[in-house]
Structure 1
Amino acid sequence: MRWTSHGRRLVYESDWVNVWLEDVDIPTIGRIEHHVLTMPRASLTSVVTDDQDRVLLLWRHRFITDTWGWEVPAGWADPDEDPEHAIRREVEEESGYRAGRVTLMTAYNALSGISTMRFTSYHVTDCTHIGAPTDITESSKIEWVPAKDIPGLASKGQISDGPSLTALSYYLGIYRNSDTAVS
């Protein structure tokens, strides 16, 4: 069933998120106001690997969920910023590694039922360590983790961030085993 929109009104706006109430007609239900979240900037994730089959992960605390866990380097593209440039910048700021090769893995809608949020995920290789991360708020530690250990970390709840789980699962289960993977 396709919903019909009769317009929307802005409820809240910021540099991080916009909240709208959309006037929609849902077949068999009728007309309702539906919450819609839009993000002013594009969301990006990266799976950074090395030639020893390891993945670069950041250990960090998320205050909203009050949880600690491993995450992949990620962030937002600034308005009019090329997404590949943005993920290069994010990897360097968050990890202290300069990206060599950056290859598009996939793009997906993160919350299709309520948001326009779209993530683009990249595979990053051939990195060079250039020093300490410039954004020290991003993590408490940075480690190269064997790719074979990723499923165990996830099953123990040590990787519970949705964008990281999605990027890592896609990399391990689809991308790494496809003809499009770049080694």
Structure 2
Amino acid sequence: MSEAVPMEFTEYHTRLAAYVLIVDDQDRVLLAWWNGEGHSEPEWSLPGGGIDFDESIMAGVVREVFEETGYDVEPGALLTEHHFTARGRTFDGWFRSQRFVFEATITGGELGTTEVGGSTDHAQWVPLSELDGQPRSEIVDIALAARERKPASR
């Protein structure tokens, strides 16, 4: 938000979203190609997205990852959380987007987007060394920076 506007929680909309960061043993990251939905330029994003009103964050991230990648996942530890505020495109007023990024393990499925007519066109394993210069959502960089800050497993 460009200006400091104190608001009560009843004065703005909230969007919960959850994503996973999965980097394989070949230093490739699993990404989803977000198509921009007709209002933004397409770009790579983490698999995940908006949590439905009646689902838990964990159930929502599992559903979203399957829809966007074709993989079944088991979410792990919370890697990072991030939020931003902006004016709504489909309603008048401010909204807060609260985003959670989890580590995850693939437990089944196969690579292939299962949603039809959605915001993700395809998913792909992208080498980390090839990310520079690629159009990507800031959530990708936020998650990768959090991964770098995480202490190594013992």
Normalising to structure 2: TM-score of the pair? Answer: 0.73
| CA displacement, residues 111-139 of structure 1 (integer Å, 9 cap, x when unaligned) | 18953321111222335334643213233
The yes-or-no answer on 1:125 pairing with 2:105 is yes
Task: Supply the AA of the counterpart residue of 1:70.
Answer: W
Q: 1:81 and 1:48, CA in 2 relative to 1: closer, same or farther beyond 3 A?
A: same
Other-structure match for 2:22: 48
Helix, strand or coil at the partner of 1:44: strand
In structure 1, stretches of 5+ residues that fail to align are: 11-19, 21-36
Other-structure match for 2:91: none
Other-structure match for 2:150: 178
Over the aligned positions, Cα root-mean-square deviation in angstroms equals 3.1
Normalising to structure 1: TM-score of the pair? Answer: 0.63
In structure 2, stretches of 5+ residues that fail to align are: 88-93
% identity of equivalent residues: 23
Other-structure match for 1:78: 52
Larger Cα Rg: Structure 1 or Structure 2? 1
* CA–CA separation in structure 1 for the residues paired with 2:55 and 2:70: 21
Other-structure match for 2:68: 94
Task: Tell whether the 8 Å contact from 2:62 to 2:75 is kept in structure 1 after alignment.
Answer: no
Aligned residue pairs total 143
The yes-or-no answer on 1:152 pairing with 2:133 is yes
Q: Higher relative contact order by CA 8 Å / sep ≥ 6: 1 or 2?
A: 2
